[in-house]
Structure 1
Amino acid sequence: MKHRNVLALALAAVSAAVLLGGCGTQTGNAAEAEDDSSVLVVGCDNYAPFSYADVDGNMTGIDVDLAQEAFTRMGYRAEFRVINWEEKKELLHKGEIDCVWSSFTMDGRENDYNWAGPYMESHQVVAVLPDSKITKLSDLEDKVIAVQSTTKPEDIIRSHDGMLPPLRKVLSVQKRELIFVLLSKGYADAIAGHDTTIEEFMAETGLEFRILDEPLQTVGLGVAFDKDDARGIAAQLNDTLKEMREDGTVRETIGKYLPDAERFVGGSDEK
């Protein structure tokens, strides 16, 4: 039901093809977090099944559960704030949030943040409508593809590294839900994103898309702290995440939201 409501709202706005707009919202009491050193403010996106609000308005998802467990083991309490995803680096630098934990890809950003992880793998993929003639990445030549802005799929597509043929246009939108609307209404020929979120959206809305067999990339997900954060929390969290992988907590948590959890745990222990 959550995504049906979002989809309806997005349909009303998509005619404007809103590019890079909007602002973040906050969950929880930030003032309390500023006064309580035991509270860590976790910046996240509304990005099921990793971090999203349930029917009661409480944050839930793979990353929310993992953050709560990890920070509890470390002696902290996690407080989640839905942010404008494009402002994540600035929010970290200003100290308005302590970390970003929301299906955030480490690959290609290793030197941009102080990282903990990876704690799981994710697969960046391309999806099309079921009756599309696009069956492989090379079929995307002169096509329009929609992505969420400042995400790994956008990085991959705009890198021009030869993985994709020349595209007619890349539509970058701030809200993830809009990419599905752009595809459904024919404004885009394909979308790119995490396979987990595409599958989750289909399950929640009943809409059907076809994920291409050929992936864009398999990446590691991590928790980002400001590059100059010297508190040592990232290193402590890295050790805690390793402990949680070894004792099966990560696998069990992923399994609550996704089938075949082993596929997403992947080789993260070795990375």
Structure 2
Amino acid sequence: MKIPTILVIISSILILTSFSGCTSSYGKEYNTVNPGVLTVGITPEMPPQQYYEDGELKGFDIDLMKEIANNMGLKPEFKIYEYGGAHEALLNGEIDCLPSMTISPERKEDMDFSRAYIQTYVVVAVFENSPYRELKDLNGKNIAVVTNTYTEDWAKEYLGSLNANIKSYDSVEGLVSDVYSGNIDAVVTDQIQLDYYSKQNNFESRLIFEKMTIEYWAIAVKKDNHNLQNEINDVLFELDENKALYELKNKWYD
């Protein structure tokens, strides 16, 4: 029996649309969790990237992801997680992306990354009046890190040989509190965080040795979601070209 032409056309359309992602208001297709929405995982305890102020989300990452979503014709939506929770949410497909993630070989096994847009460094810092001058001086000392971060992984790998006591904190605020109380001898963090908290809390810090390891921050997306990865890269390139990215960096990091 000959199948009517109209049925063939309808069937073809259904097959094609069943394999496509959601479509933005600009007609481009992205594989996002919710149609028309860019769902972003954040942990708002990391100023100046992500934090609450008077009940409102603020920070470099918030502004950046709003810019990216708007340029893609999508609505930005932020989902809140504790440290490490957003990472798992990305792997489980609950969210579309994570901003300001440090690129590492280990993380590349689980997720893909956009082009890098921030360069910083892993640093080991002490108070200006601390007696510790070299890494070997931290043998057996208490060293603070924030849990589920690249700097925690770095500290455990590279400072473990010092027999240092690596103490992981669920929040930067708890870490800073223990630093002031004298329970911590040194902190492993990134240069951006160190500069921010030194300025906010008006204390003088000093680096042990020099900058340890360079870090590149990028936007992480679910593994093999190349449509979304490529479009985010295109938008980041445009924001770089029109100086919008430069202005955001000046606003939050200078």
Q: TM-score range by the shorter chain?
A: 0.7 to 0.9
Name the structure where strand makes up a greater proportion of residues: 2
Structure 2's unaligned 5+ residue stretches are: 1-31
Question: 1:17-96 to 2 correspondence within 5 Å?
Answer: 37-45=35-43, 46-54=45-53, 56-96=54-94
- Calculate percent identity across the aligned residue pairs: 28
Of 148-157 and 109-118, deviating more is 109-118
Instruction: Name the SS of the counterpart of 2:90 in structure 1.
Output: helix
Match of 1:198 among 191, 194, 200: 194
TM-score by length of 1: 0.74
Distance 1:165 1:90, change over 3 A: closer
CA distance in 2, matches of 1:116, 1:172: 28
Q: Between Structure 1 and Structure 2, how many residues are aligned? A: 221
- TM-score normalised by structure 2 residue count: 0.79
SS of corresponding position for 2:78: strand
SS at match of 1:158: helix
Equivalent position SS for 1:122: strand
Assess, with a 3 A threshold, how the Cα gap between structure 1 residues 39 and 242 changes in structure 2: closer, same or farther: same
Aligned residue for 2:103?
A: 106
Secondary structure of the residue aligned to 1:75 is: coil
Q: How much has 1:174 moved relative to structure 2?
A: 1.4
**TM-align CA RMSD:** 2.2
Shift of residue 48, structure 1, vs aligned partner: 0.8
Which residue of structure 2 aligns with residue 142 of structure 1?
A: 140
Find the counterpart in structure 2 of residue 184 from structure 1: 180
Alpha-carbon distance between aligned partners in 1 of 2:33 and 2:72, rounded to the nearest angstrom: 19
CA contact (8 A) 1:138 1:164 kept: no
Kept in 1, the 8 Å contact 2:33–2:39? The answer is: no
The CA deviation string for residues 206-242 of structure 1, in whole angstroms up to 9 with x for no partner, is 3443344511211110111122546x11221012112
Give the whole-Å Cα distance in 2 for the aligned partners of 1:140 and 1:243. Answer: 45
SS of residue paired to 1:159: helix
Cα gap change, 1:145/1:47 in structure 2, threshold over 3 Å: closer, same or farther?
same
